Amino acid sequence: MRATEPRGHAEVVRGLWRAAAAGRLAHALCFEGAAGVGKSVAARWFTLGLLCRSGPPIGADARPCGTCPSCKKVLGGDWRGLHPDVFVIDPVEEGRVEIPITYVRQRAQGADGDDPRFTLEEFLALRPSEGERRVVLVREAERLNENAQNALLKTLEEPPRGTTLVLECSRAAALLPTVRSRLVRVPFAPLCEADLRAVLDEARARGELSDAADTAALAALARGAPGAAVDADRRGLAEVRGILVEVATGAARAGERLEALWEVRGEYPGATPSAKERERVRAAAAVAAALVLDLECLAAGLAAVHHADLADRLLPLAHRSTSARRAAAREAALAAIGDVERNQDAAAAMERLVRGLGRLLEAPAT
């Protein structure tokens, strides 16, 4: 398991360690925040410190020792780690769209051919192997299906002594109200510009970003979430953004650049080519909607915009375009997202959002 200090979130985790050392740590936590902001990294670092043989680290710059047998086991092996008192459910690593009930409670044999070897309930039925603490980590807990969430309720209400459950979640609304009511919310804010740039530099050094990655563009697209920046790089969204800005500012006609959006190299999820095309449209439309929102902010005299690196190009457009044209462009982008969510033609949806941007500088109809 990779467990490193979560840049920008270390103090949040240290607060939890202090609560643990004082015997005040809640037994069920929800690490909540935007996707890619670093919640999963924080959860693993929290686990490392909670199980360290030296006890939960206390102090302004406290860190787990990283060298005791417990730390080595947490850090060892693959994403699961090797510590017998840590149970990890990670649908991202396993490539699962949802987390079924069989990850929580073992059903009758033959009821589900995809049963894991060891369920959460079976793990908690055992006594801790080392020390008095155990940790359960559930990454992207919003992927728990309804049956799995219901099966988890009793454990969240009364877990075995010494057990800490951490549900990492980007969409808390996807959790049942009965689940949310049993969790103590731990919010994770977007990273500041300096921390985000530092994380992206580290990601580049590890080879997680392409050689030609535009760090300024990725930082703007990420909105303080390093994971979102890495994802944007994989999808070629910096290049997509550049094309959309050309159309919006009148540097290129919509029809001339429409095909270029389909030619941008990028990795998009989907079981079929059409599904991948719809994801491409969804991503482009989200970028377009954010650009138009920045135009609205600039037109209102607000300096704080997501795409600050483009402010010099967007400011004249904000002053020249009308409120009605900006609203229409944003509506076109949101409508394109709605089209692909209804499995409508991806090419038509892409054309809709691009032409919406292309009309920003048109004179109002009379």
The whole-angstrom separation of Cα 349 and Cα 346 is 5
H-assigned helices in 54-140: 69-75, 91-94, 120-125
The whole-angstrom separation of Cα 345 and Cα 275 is 10
**pLDDT value at position 118?**
82
CA atoms within 13 A on the CB side of 182: 21
**pLDDT value at position 111?**
47
Q: Assess contact for 38 and 187: CB atoms under 8 A.
A: no
CA atoms within 13 A on the CB side of 96: 20
**pLDDT value at position 212?**
85
**pLDDT value at position 47?**
97
Residues 6+ apart with CB under 8 A from 168: 30, 31, 39, 40, 43, 137, 138, 139, 140, 141
The whole-angstrom separation of Cα 218 and Cα 201 is 11
| pLDDT tens by residue, the chain, 366 residues | 878 899 999 999 999 999 999 999 999 999 999 999 999 999 999 999 999 999 999 988 899 999 999 999 999 999 999 999 999 999 999 999 999 999 999 765 544 445 546 899 999 999 999 989 999 999 999 999 999 999 999 999 999 999 999 999 999 999 999 999 999 999 999 999 899 999 999 999 999 999 889 999 999 999 999 999 999 999 999 999 999 999 999 999 999 899 999 999 999 988 899 999 999 999 999 999 999 999 999 999 998 898 999 999 999 999 999 999 999 999 999 999 999 999 999 999 999 999 999 999 885 554
**pLDDT value at position 303?**
84
The whole-angstrom separation of Cα 31 and Cα 38 is 10
Assign domain 10-188 to its CATH architecture: 3-Layer(aba) Sandwich (3.40)
Question: Cα 323–327–333 angle (5° rounding)?
Answer: 150
pTM of the model: 0.85
The tokens describing 136, both together, are 């359960």
- Main-chain dihedrals φ then ψ at residue 18, nearest 5 degrees: -60, -40
**pLDDT value at position 1?**
85
Q: At what angle do helices 237-248 and 346-358 cross, to 10 degrees?
A: 50
Residue in 99, 96, 105, 71 with CA at minimum distance from that of residue 85: 71
- Main-chain dihedrals φ then ψ at residue 306, nearest 5 degrees: -70, -40
**pLDDT value at position 107?**
60
Sign of CA dihedral 168, 170, 175, 177: positive
**pLDDT value at position 366?**
46
**pLDDT value at position 59?**
87
